[in-house]
Structure 1
């Protein structure tokens, strides 16, 4: 369904917009560098976020790097479950918008 991510596509993107491509690469390198969080933890966070944003390229790429940085399959799956809970939690939390719209956020007889 999705085209394969290839070095040729990366090269073409860089040719079409070199400055943003360079800036993005530098930003990515800085974000994933060892810091207060180790690289494995940062990659596990990326795996979780990739599942929430539903980017197949990010899921595959960050899962591979997380594994290379020492993440076990169990750690990767736990990160995915955290993503699932947060995605579901977002829907639950946003139900306040629907309830407010329906006038259900105030007790019976209360002001809206």
Structure 2
């Protein structure tokens, strides 16, 4: 079941409103984002796969859609995207598993 009201549809109108409320910050943000995703030491495809993984950890539906589309545009396969998501899932679960040491330590007091 899809809840259309949970997250508003991304539109130019909303983007314009956001920019009008903080134009300098939005300009800096847009430049930062463009710079981060440019080809560099890491290929653009790799950067988009990282973004897909991180988007799943941060649970940002906008980022998941956007970076999945970009990863495909940059040549990522469906299998690569799913493996990136699985790495993110393991890392997220691994944090809970590793932090069990804190609970064990507290239980021993």
Q: Same fold (TM over 0.5)?
A: yes
* 1:100 shift after superposition: 1.6
> Within 5 Å, which residues of 2 pair with 1:62-73?
62-73=67-78
Q: Distance in 2 between matches of 1:68 and 1:77?
A: 15
Q: Distance in 1 between matches of 2:105 and 2:16?
A: 49
> Within 5 Å, which residues of 2 pair with 1:7-86?
7-86=12-91
Question: Which structure's CA Rg is the greater one?
Answer: 1
Count of aligned positions: 104
Q: Distance in 1 between matches of 2:106 and 2:24?
A: 45
* 1:98 shift after superposition: 1.2
Structure 2: which 5+ runs fail to align?
1-5
Runs of 4+ in 1 over 6 A off after TM superposition: none
* 1:5 shift after superposition: 1.3
